[in-house]
Amino acid sequence: MSDYLDSLNDIQRKAVTDIEGPVLVVAGPGSGKTRVLTYRIAYLIQQGVNPRNILALTFTNKAAREMKARIEKVVGNAANQVWAGTFHSIFARLLRVDAGLLGFPSNFTIYDSDDAKSLIASIVKDLGLDKTTYAANNILSRISTAKSQIITAEAYAANNAFVEQDRISSIPFFAEIYKRYTIRLKKAGAMDFDDLLFHLFFLLKNHPEVLEKYRRKFTYILVDEFQDTNYLQYSIIKKLVRYEGGKNNICVVGDDAQSIYAFRGATIENILDFERDFPMLKTYKLEQNYRSTDAIVQAANEIIQNNRKQIKKTIWTDRKEDQGIQVIRALADNEEAKRVVDSILEQKNRNHLRNSEIAILYRTNAQSRIFEEYLRRYNITYRVYGGMSFYQRKEIKDLLSYFKICVNQNEDESIQRIINFPRRGIGDATIEGLRKIAIDNDVSIWNVLQSDIPQVKGKKAIVDFTKMIEVFIAKSKELNAYDLAMMITRQSGVLDEYKKENSIDSMARVENINALLDGIKEFVDNDEVSGDDELPTDKSLATYLQTIMLLTDADKESPDNDFVTLMSVHSAKGLEFKSVFVTGLEEKLFPSWMSFEVPDGIEEERRLFYVAITRAESFLTLSYANSRYRFGKLTYCEPSRFLEELSITKSELQALPREAGSARSSISGSFKPVKMLEKKNLIVDGVDFKASPVEMIKEGTRVLHLKFGEGLVKKVEGGAGNKVATIYFKNVDDPERRIMLKFAKLQVLG
């Protein structure tokens, strides 16, 4: 046969050449999924199938482009005639042909999320409803969920259970908003993104002649990443494929073990129950992994076997070069970050890895902060994938602007950013007027605010804002950085602004704000002396800002684009790296605390962990911390249950250092089941802890530290107000620590 078929293994070749009837290709990580999908289309064309009769659905435009490029290498220009694209782009093309049947113009407008939210906000205003209770982002998300379940506005309003749930949720007018939103879209000749699928379903359902037309046109249908489809997408696919006299020529490719988008509406049941819908199904399992070493593949198999809902398979590899799996066990989250970055330096030096071959993965984007800080300190360039640097995120810049104004009232840019955030009714024209007065009089905007400003729209709001900032400035002289930051965060309304949206997006912003506050608390609580003895003179917000601004200013791009990649595990799906660090492996972090509250939530978190570890080609490092700051408190952390599920023997776990020395352990060789990770009481219970007076801390004194545990004071030096104690802590790596006593919290023992 053709040369390209010779590059396939036996199972891949069968999945490519078995072109009649329904086919499920279960593609494990690194098993050549894309190759099989594209070669199958090329093979169809070579067998005489008209490329215009082939429909290939993907989830990204990039995947569609890559698919066509690969097909073109085999069959030439015929590849461009294949209907290959995302669900939304393909279905929009189909809708434009027959939109008139639905009462829409063929040139209907497509509303993006901002357009849709703007329309919802106007409807909420028309109904005289509270815009906080009926936040546009939240309402749009609920409408999207309803459409993905094929629930029309009329059906929603007629469902007593839905109406009662809305009443309990204090949004009794949701059904009315949904109805008006639907009417207003149609009146405007517009569809939102969900409508491109939603309206196509009803076009096919209510117009048999249209359905028949497309059934005859698309004689072969292929779907990539099938495990990520939702109920609506699959319902459309079934309509196009299943019909009397049809051959059901559908091929879906995916991996149930990588189904991680339930929060977007994806349902794993689509792939698990595919055989029920197509009884004549032929299934091919691509189980050979070409990406990862044997240790990584074994770990992936052992993790996923704990899920009840799955298509059984055993992934294997020929890559026997075994680097082992590294486990970093850190005392606290900042130590975890330091050790991860230390390991990156070691891998770069010992294994000659480029930055671009390394990725740090985490469960939530808020975790990026501490890794960013240590990467900057070590002068390692990085990029935050699928997002932006922690300190460049809108919510962080908003809050930092409030902080900056308390320290430096002449910071005009910060004032302009926050004077109407959260919204106070101070319009852009008013802000521009204030700016012009400041320029004309060669003073800062703050000076203008404190003067007797002329009567302008929103004057009362301006006066209230000025008084609030004056209170913050006064408090900055008596409060430490954390207490002042907490006061500003609460009284400015920034935190409440994001909380009230109650959406996935806003929850992530709240997490980021809490991460910033935790970083400030850590700054205040840190009593260690830096190696160069450049000691902070205080724990004020001004000193904190100086520290953090130095870090953010150092965030420069590398000219050769050689970045370490930081990303959430969700963003990492489909990517691969020579070395992967999966961090924050603690209960209620990974798995997420939210997964405890939903059915099958832990199983989805386990699939997410499976995705994380299978991104690694040669080096896999798993890390967790015994403690981390959460909501301003140093809290003890339980190791993730997923670590328990790896077959690391109990003796190997116990070999992880409990005394001074490296906190890393290379784990390789034979694997045996293990019961439970043993807890290590390195963190002192803060409830029973009582700090002793500084005068009691002397050479030879045994002390207890909240973070480092029990220690022995070896030396005390310095003047009365700047005494520094050198203390040996027996239970930590780098046991000798220098502590600034005026900031220290030490309890004298015995």
User: Considering Cα of 528, then 534, then 537, then 540, what sign does the dihedral take?
Assistant: negative
Phi, psi for residue 608 in degrees, rounded to 5: -65, -40
Judge whether 382 and 372 are in contact, CB under 8 Å. Answer: yes
The upper half-sphere exposure of residue 638, i.e. CA atoms within 13 Å in the direction of its Cβ, equals: 11
Burial of residue 6 (number of CB atoms within 10 Å: 0-12, 13-18, 19+): exposed
What tokens appear for 384 in the block? Answer: 């935050």
Residues 6 or more apart whose CB falls under 8 angstroms from that of 499 comprise 506, 510
Alpha helices in 22-60 (DSSP H): 33-46
CA distances from 389 to 424, 497, 512, 552, 556 (A): 28, 22, 11, 9, 11
What phi-psi label fits residue 718: left (phi over 0), alpha (psi between -120 and 50 degrees) or beta?
left
Q: Which of 98, 225, 228, 652 is catalytic?
A: 225
Which helix (H) or strand (E) segment holds residue 354: the answer is none
Q: Residue holding tokens 């080096």? A: 619
Phi, psi dihedrals of residue 562, rounded to the nearest 5°: -95, 90
User: Given the DSSP bridges, would you call strands 564-568 and 282-286 parallel, antiparallel or unpaired?
Assistant: unpaired
Helix %, strand %, coil % of the chain (to 5)? 50, 15, 35
DSSP-based three-state secondary structure for 740: strand
Residue 187 tokens, joined? 């009146």
**Exactly one of 393, 606, 615, 707 is catalytic; which is it?**
615
Query: 333-350 vs 368-377: helix axis angle to the nearest 10?
Result: 50
Q: Which amino acid is at 574?
A: G
Number of alpha carbons in the 13 Å side-chain half-sphere of residue 16: 28
Q: Is 649 labeled as catalytic in the residue annotation?
A: no
From 381, 401, 380, 405, select the one nearest 391 (Cα to Cα): 401
Q: Which of 12, 13, 33, 166 is catalytic?
A: 33
Dist. CA 524–CA 482, nearest whole Å? 7
Beta bridge partners of 582: 361, 622
Pairing of strands 627-630, 83-86: unpaired
Give yes or no: 224 in active site: yes
| Residue 258 bears catalytic tag | yes
Cis amide bond preceding 29, omega within 30: no
Q: Is 52 a catalytic residue?
A: no
Q: How far apart are CA 38 and CA 173, in angstroms?
A: 48
Determine the Cα–Cα distance for residues 580 and 361; give it in Å rounded to an integer: 7
Determine the distance from the C-alpha atom of residue 182 to the mean position of all C-alpha atoms in its chain, rounded to a whole number: 31
Which of 14, 17, 34, 710 is an active site residue? Answer: 34
Say if residue 164 is exposed, middle or buried (CB neighbours under 10 Å; 0-12, 13-18, 19+): exposed
The first and second tokens of residue 246, run together, are: 């049809």
Backbone φ and ψ for 633, nearest 5 degrees, come out as -120, 140
The active-site residue, picked from 192, 194, 195, 224, is 224
Q: Is 615 an annotated catalytic residue? A: yes
427, 458 contact by CB (below 8 A): yes
Cα separation, 363 vs 365, whole angstroms = 7
Element (H, E) at 479: none
Amino acid at 102: L
Q: Of 258, 347, 367, 701, which residue is the catalytic one?
A: 258
DSSP for 275-286, please give it.
Answer: HHH-TT-EEEEE
Residue 225: active-site member: yes
The two structure tokens encoding residue 201:
């379903």
Q: In angstroms, how far is CA 644 from the centroid of its own chain? A: 24
Given a contact cutoff of 8 angstroms between Cβ atoms, the answer to whether 104 and 139 are in contact is no
Catalytic sites, residue numbers: 33-34, 224-225, 258, 615
